[in-house]
Chains A and B, each alone.
Chain A
Amino acid sequence: MIKIDNLTVKYGKNTVYDHFNLDIEDGGLTCILGESGCGKTTLLNAVAGLIDYGGEITKKSVSYVFQSPRLIPYLSVLKNLTVAGAEAQSATAMLGKVGLSEKLSAYPAQLSGGEAQRVSLCRAFLKKSDVLLMDEPFSSLDLKTKLSAMELFKSLNKEDGRGAIFVTHDIDEALYLADRIIVIGGGKVLKDVQNADKGEFGANSPLREIILKVLLNVKSE
C-alpha cells in the first residue's frame, strides 16, 4: 500500500497540498482525476520522490511514464531501454510486443508521438518496480492513437500484473481504464469511486454524470 500522510507541498506562496491524506492499495489501476493545475502531477512527483514535500509517503520503487516520452535524443530506441537497466534481449522482445521491432536503431526524433510514447511504456514495464506511475500518458495523442495506446497499455498491464497510478484530466480515460477513481481538487479528495465499472470509451454512464458534476462544481467555485 502507498500511504500518504499529512502531505504538504508549497510552491512559493502557493500551497498545493496541506496535510493531505490518501491510501492507495497495491495492485489494480488507480486514477487520480482532476482539472489541469489541481496538483495531480505534484502528487505523482511526490510519490516518485522528485519533489520536496512535508509529511510522509511510503517509499516504493517506481516506474514512471511521463506526459512527454522523455526519451534520450542521443540514443537509439534500443539503447534508451538498455541505459535504463533493461537487458537487450528483454528490450527487443518488449519492442516487438508493441510493434516497434523495426525501430530498434531509430532515434527518438525519427519516431511519431505515438511510437515515442510506446517506447516510454516499454521502458516503464521493463523496469522492476513496485508500482507504475503515469502522468497523463495519452493526453498528447490524437484520438485514434490514444485508443490504440490505451489498449496496448491494458494488455501489457494485464500480463505484468503490477499496480498502476495514473493521473488524467480526461473523464473518459479514467472510466475506461481505472478500477478506482479519485477526483481531487483544491488539494482535497472530492470523490473516491472504488470498483469503478469500466465501460466503452466515451460512453455515457451514471458514474460519468456523477464525476462530471463534481468537476463542474469545482470549476464554478
Chain B
Amino acid sequence: MKKINFLYSLAAIALMWVVWLIAAAAVKNEYLIAPVGASVKEFFTLFENAFFWRALLQTFARTIVAFLISFALALVCACLAVAFKPFAAFMRPVTAFFRTLPTMAVLLLILVWLTPRTAPVAVAMLVLFPMIYSQLSDGIAGIDGGLLQMAKVYGIPLSRRLTSIYLPHLAPIALEQTGAGLSFGLKLIISAEVMASTRTALGGIISEAQAYINLPRIAALTLVAVVLGVLIEIVFRVIADNAFGWKRAVKYD
C-alpha cells in the first residue's frame, strides 16, 4: 500500500513537470514562462556560485532565528495558557490579530524601523508565532488527564511528570512543528527578502533576477526553495518517527 501511494506521489510530481513543459512549449516566450531546460540548467549552475551559497546560508540562518524565537515564545505562552485560563483568554485576540495581519503590508511598515536584513525575521515571527502557539497549546491540553490523575495518586513528583509524561508527549509534536515551521518560515523569509530587496539573500537574488526579467533564474531559485522546504519536512518527520523508542516499538511491532 505504501509503495502504491509513493507511486501516486511521484505521478503528481511528474504531472507538474509535464504541465510546465507543455505550457512553456505552447507559449514559446521565455519572458512569460521560463523554459524547463534552461531553468534546470540554471538550478545546477547556482550551486557553483560562492555568492549563492552565502545567500542561501544567510536566508537559512534568518529562518532558524525567526523559528527559534517564535518557538520559545510560543512554548512559554502555551504553558501559561494551559495553566491559567485568563491568560488563554488574553491570548485569543492577540493570536487572532497576528494570524489575520496582511503580512507583506506589515513588512513595509516594519522596514521603517528595521533593516532589510532583519525585517524578514520580524515578519516571519509574526506569522509563525500564532501557528506554533496554537499547536503547542493544543498539544499540552491534549495530554491524557487520566495519566495526570494516576501521577497524582501515585505521588509522582513534578520533575518526573515533566520528563515522563509532558516532554515525551510534546516532543514528537515539537519535532513535527519544527519541520513544518522551518519549511513555512523559509518561504516567508524568502518572500519578505524579495520585497525588502535584502542583499546576500535568496530573496535578494530573486528580486535582482526579476529586475532583469530572468525567468529561468527565478524558476531555478524557486525550485531551490521548494526542494529545501520539502527536504526539511522529510528530515524532521523521519526524526520524529524514529527518535522515540515507544514510537519505534509500535511501528515495527
Where the two chains meet, the residues of A that have a C-beta atom closer than 8 Å to any C-beta of B are 48, 50, 62-64, 66, 68, 70, 72-76, 79, 83-85, 106-107, 109-110, 123, 127
Contacts and interface: CB of A to CB of B under 8 A. Distances in A.
Given A72-B164, A72-B165, A74-B244, A64 B250 contact: no
Category for how many chain B residues contact A: 20 to 34
Contact of B253 (A66, A73, A76, A109): A109
Q: Which of A50, A62, A84, A123 has the most CB of B within 10 A?
A: A84
B246 A74 contact: yes
Contacts, number: 57
B249 interface: yes
B146 A83 contact: no
Interface of B: 144, 146-147, 149-150, 152-156, 160, 164-165, 168-169, 244-246, 249-250, 253
Contact of B146 (A66, A109, A123): A66
Contacts of A76: 245
Q: Which of B155, B156, B160, B249 has the most CB of A within 10 A?
A: B249
A74 B154 contact: no
Nearest to A61: B155
B153 A62 contact: yes
7 contacts: A68-B146, A74-B168, A75-B168, A79-B164, A83-B156, A85-B155, A110-B250
A85 B152 contact: no
B152 A72 contact: no
Contact of B164 (A68, A75, A85): A75
A74 B253 contact: no
Interface majority SS on A: helix, strand, loop or mixed?
Answer: loop
Contact of A110 (B146, B147, B169, B249): B249
Contacts of B147: 70, 72
Interface majority SS on B: helix, strand, loop or mixed?
Answer: helix
A74 B165 contact: yes
Contacts of B245: 76, 107
Contacts of A75: 164, 168, 246
Given A70-B147, A72-B147, A83-B164, A107 B250 contact: yes
B155 A110 contact: no
Nearest to A68: B146
Contacts of B152: 50
A62 B152 CA distance: 11
A57 to B, nearest CB: 15
A216 B204 CA distance: 80
Contacts of B168: 74-75
Contacts of A66: 146, 149-150
B150 to A, nearest CB: 4
A75 B244 CA distance: 10
A109 B150 contact: no
B154 A127 contact: yes
